[in-house]
């Protein structure tokens, strides 16, 4: 898939999958394959090895196996997005591998630390040269992109989209007005702010909730894009307790999703250190939340 084809395909709900591990802490490729097969039937794109996928906790062999497993299981039905990150050499190596096995595009995870604008451009150019795939800029707490930085990255043909998980709507609107259709504009704040992002011109929305309650996620995106605001308010109210629980403690944005999948009968295992699994009390709260999201589905 060329970068332009990737840009044109990025629409609707982008499902970010967690990475399943066995009870002895090995990558569970069979569980991952079955799960992304389900997601490919529900979402507009599937993303693997993002932050929800604990990409930084995978060794390089696991990283490659997660990518190839996802590409094979999706089988071309929707775009497969691969998260790449860490240093430029590792990111470029993973980008090249993703391209070889048939991934559609890449999400460039935050670098962190003190990086100049020139360093960012070098980083993106290296990943683009290694893969030839379309790249998504990821603006989040660890790395917030200014409009000027986005404009510089727009000079790289392979850079085709922005995922905004920082949540500064004024900044998002300014970038959208300045760069227009050069990028696909992605609501990285998920379901709770779908209305605001759609009004400002978002083309797609990322979701972790889609792993657990796909019908609710789809309904929220559809209601937002069709401006059915009264319906949307009710749907977002249903989604809010899950989001609040994910924000309760550090690392819970991942741990809550994996625990929820476990309660729904999918063997995703626990998060890897340094992240921590849910406390018993929080797990009880999750059961209550899931009883509303997925009636009769909680183990």
Asked if residue 187 is part of any domain, the answer here is yes
pLDDT tens digits, one per residue of 136-185? 999 998 899 999 999 999 999 999 999 999 999 999 999 999 999 999 99
- Distance, in Å, from the CA atom of 31 to the CA atom of 54, rounded to the nearest integer, reads 16
Q: Across the chain, where does the E strand assignment appear?
A: 12-16, 45-48, 80-84, 105-108, 134-139, 159-164, 184-187, 204-207
What confidence category does residue 297 fall into, taking pLDDT thresholds of 50, 70 and 90? low
Q: At residue 105, what are phi and psi to the nearest 5 degrees?
A: -165, 180
The residues pairing with 164 across neighbouring beta strands, listed in sequence order, are 139, 187
pLDDT tens digits, one per residue of 9-61? 999 999 999 999 999 999 999 999 999 999 999 999 999 999 899 998 999 99
Asked if residue 188 is part of any domain, the answer here is yes
- Distance, in Å, from the CA atom of 109 to the CA atom of 137, rounded to the nearest integer, reads 8
Determine the structural domain holding residue 111 and report its residue range.
Answer: 3-231
Asked if residue 282 is part of any domain, the answer here is no
Asked if residue 191 is part of any domain, the answer here is yes
Domain count, the chain: 1
The mean pLDDT value for 47-76 works out to 96
The mean pLDDT value for 201-229 works out to 97
Asked if residue 226 is part of any domain, the answer here is yes
**What is the CATH number for 201?**
3.20.20.70
pLDDT tens digits, one per residue of 216-239? 999 999 999 999 999 999 999 999
CA distances from 294 to 193, 279, 283, 287, 289 (A): 22, 21, 15, 10, 9
Beta strand pairing status for 184-187 and 12-16? unpaired
> What local confidence, expressed as pLDDT, does residue 298 receive?
62
Beta strand pairing status for 204-207 and 45-48? unpaired
For all residues of the chain together, what is the average pLDDT?
96
> What local confidence, expressed as pLDDT, does residue 239 receive?
98
């Amino acid at each position: 898939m060329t970068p332009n084809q990737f840009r044109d395909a990025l629409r609707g709900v982008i499902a970010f999958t967690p990475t399943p591990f066995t009870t002895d802490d090995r990558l569970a490729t069979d569980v991952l394959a079955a799960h992304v097969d389900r997601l490919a039937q529900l979402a507009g794109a599937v993303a693997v090895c993002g932050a929800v996928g604990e990409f930084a906790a995978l060794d390089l062999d696991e990283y490659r196996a997660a990518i190839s497993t996802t590409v094979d299981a999706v089988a071309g039905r929707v775009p497969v997005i691969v998260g790449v990150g860490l240093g430029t050499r590792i990111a470029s190596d993973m980008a090249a591998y993703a391209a070889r096995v048939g991934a559609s595009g890449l999400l460039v995870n935050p670098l962190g630390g003190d990086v100049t604008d020139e360093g960012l451009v070098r980083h993106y150019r290296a990943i683009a040269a290694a893969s030839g795939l379309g790249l998504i800029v990821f603006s989040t707490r660890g790395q917030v992109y200014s409009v000027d930085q986005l404009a510089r990255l727009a000079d790289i043909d392979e850079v085709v989209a922005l995922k905004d998980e920082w949540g500064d709507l004024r900044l998002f609107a300014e970038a959208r007005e300045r760069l227009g259709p050069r990028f696909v504009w992605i609501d990285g704040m998920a379901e709770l702010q779908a209305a605001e992002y759609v009004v400002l011109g978002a083309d797609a929305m990322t979701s972790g909730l889609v792993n657990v309650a796909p019908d609710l996620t789809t309904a929220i995106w559809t209601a937002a894009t069709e401006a059915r605001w009264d319906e949307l308010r009710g749907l977002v109210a249903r989604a809010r307790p899950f989001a609040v629980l994910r924000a309760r403690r550090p690392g819970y944005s991942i741990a809550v999703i994996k625990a929820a999948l476990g309660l729904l009968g999918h063997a995703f295992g626990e998060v890897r250190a340094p992240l921590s699994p849910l406390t018993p009390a929080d797990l009880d709260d999750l059961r209550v939340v899931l009883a509303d999201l997925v009636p009769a589905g909680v183990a």
